[in-house]
Structure 1
Amino acid sequence: MPTFDASRMLSFDLETTSPNPLEARIVTSALVRIDGRDISASEQLADPGVDIPEAAQEIHGISTERARAEGRPHEDVLRDTVREIKKGWDEGLTLVVFNAPYDLTVLRQLTGDFTVTGAVFDPLVIDRARDPWRKGKRTLGDLAEYYGVRLDNAHEATSDAMAAARIAWKQVRSVWPELSQMDTGELMEYQAVQYYERALDTKAYFEKQGRDVSDFSVSWPMLG
């Protein structure tokens, strides 16, 4: 199997109608393709077909009215997004997704049959796995600041996807270069195990607090 080549990435981000990936619909979908010196970005605005809750609008700044007036049909944006991701995997690109279980689960619940057929690199999972005791939050903005990379406009899908790609590049090229020596299968397994172990600890903590964990998922890169 090939190793993770940080010069060949497809970074992906969604802005949606809900923080719950099992009910979210797409508002914007962004893909940033990095293949050597060639970098291209595309972003699509979708009409999700439902009202965008005020809480979601406050995060990404897109109103229901704008999405209806300017957005493409939701199913078209979904279809194009999945097609480009699959194409990237077929061409050997690694899909970079910050907090992959959210975005990829959104695609699965919307399509009903989305599957992972290529390599995924999750900068958030890697950061938590390699530096578990560092204090502070680990939002995309926090990690961009920590790794010293640009985040031009937080919660704007293309900016978020570009920042995730920059963080991934920094992680494998400067901070933990040994990650680039792992083949993509080993890297996928490493992330899945690290996510699983952390999720089990979180689940146990929630149980001690008396919280309902019946729907708690410990799977990566999509929720079980």
Structure 2
Amino acid sequence: MSPSQLGWMYDPLCGFDLETTSKDPHTARIVTGSVVRYGGGRPVTGRTWLSDVGGAEVPADATQIHGYTTEAARTAGRPASVVVEEITAALAAAVEEGRPLVIMNATYDLTVLDREARRYGVTPLLDRVSPAVLDPYVLDRRMRERRRGHRTLTDLCRHYVVPLEDAHSSEADATAACKLVAKMGRRYRTLGRLTVAQLHREQIAWAREQNASLRDYFARTPGKEAWARDVRLEWPLLPFREAVSKP
């Protein structure tokens, strides 16, 4: 029996992850990015890029997460505009090959990539292709809504017993995200019986419901009311409405 006959979780997936300068997807700059091919009965392969961050600074708190300083990025990194173009092209090629994009907290990574593309005059990914996206964060919140605890990639890997070595390495994180969604697809019939196109459409609705619930929780919780303003309902990309900062 071929992988396709067994379900999407056995077919090739495209994992994508970024390590950046900031938590704000509209202003964050890419430090490293990885695109990996996972599944389909073949070894994991991929490519990782290091950007010179386009002359921006890498804050100390970001360095503590992924390990790259401003000096390291500027010295060893390639021009940010080239990195953004090559990552976008690699993802577009994967979509054209029929692979879904697996992205943990997809709204952040895809928005960062989109804003970086606009910053450097690169054609954005969603202007090139219409990807099906699988987001382990959204899927887990749907399947295990009442489970307590955090839902970072590390937390989800621990919960689903998925190996994660060298966390916050973009390649390791992209690969782990693929392992997560494949395991979820095998564990939960609700996910496994749908096509990736159907799952993409369902996640748009699920993410909206989840984020609306979070926004309402913040709004009625003393001391957290202001946080509600920052909760967005869109998935997997925040709409572009304002000019991004130029290099």
Take 2:184 and 2:229, find their aligned partners in 1: how far apart are those partners? 34
| Displacement of 1:223 | 2.0
Structure 2 residue aligned with 1:193: 205
Matches for 1:84-163 after TM superposition, within 5 Å: 84-112=90-118, 113-115=124-126, 117-163=130-176
Take 1:24 and 1:212, find their aligned partners in 2: how far apart are those partners? 20
| Displacement of 1:35 | 5.0
- Give the TM-score of the pair, scaled to structure 2: 0.85
Match of 2:69 among 45, 63, 79: 63
| Displacement of 1:215 | 4.7
The gaps in structure 2 that reach 5 residues or longer are 119-123, 240-247
Take 2:163 and 2:231, find their aligned partners in 1: how far apart are those partners? 33
Take 1:73 and 1:125, find their aligned partners in 2: how far apart are those partners? 33
1:16 aligns with 2:20: yes
| Displacement of 1:67 | 0.6
- Give the TM-score of the pair, scaled to structure 1: 0.93
Q: Is residue 9–residue 181 contact of structure 2 (8 Å, CA) maintained in 1?
A: no
Take 2:195 and 2:67, find their aligned partners in 1: how far apart are those partners? 39
Q: Is residue 9–residue 182 contact of structure 2 (8 Å, CA) maintained in 1?
A: no
Aligned residue for 2:226, secondary structure, equals: coil
Structure 1 residue aligned with 2:243: none
Q: 1:80 to 1:183 in 2, by over 3 A?
A: same
Take 2:173 and 2:87, find their aligned partners in 1: how far apart are those partners? 16
Structure 1 residue aligned with 2:245: none
Q: 1:20 to 1:14 in 2, by over 3 A?
A: same
| Displacement of 1:134 | 0.5
Amino acid at match of 1:62: Y
Q: Is residue 6–residue 168 contact of structure 1 (8 Å, CA) maintained in 2?
A: no
Aligned residue for 2:233, secondary structure, equals: coil
Aligned residue for 1:211, secondary structure, equals: helix
Amino acid at match of 2:139: I
Matches for 1:25-104 after TM superposition, within 5 Å: 25-38=29-42, 39-48=44-53, 49-104=55-110
The gaps in structure 1 that reach 5 residues or longer are none
Percent identity of paired positions between Structure 1 and Structure 2: 36
Take 1:13 and 1:179, find their aligned partners in 2: how far apart are those partners? 22
- CA-atom RMSD, angstroms? 1.7
Aligned residue for 2:28, secondary structure, equals: coil
Deviations 1:151-208, CA, capped at 9 Å, x for gaps: 01111111111111111111112x1144232122321111111110011111122222
Q: Is residue 6–residue 172 contact of structure 1 (8 Å, CA) maintained in 2?
A: no
Q: Is residue 214–residue 231 contact of structure 2 (8 Å, CA) maintained in 1?
A: no
Aligned residue for 2:172, secondary structure, equals: helix
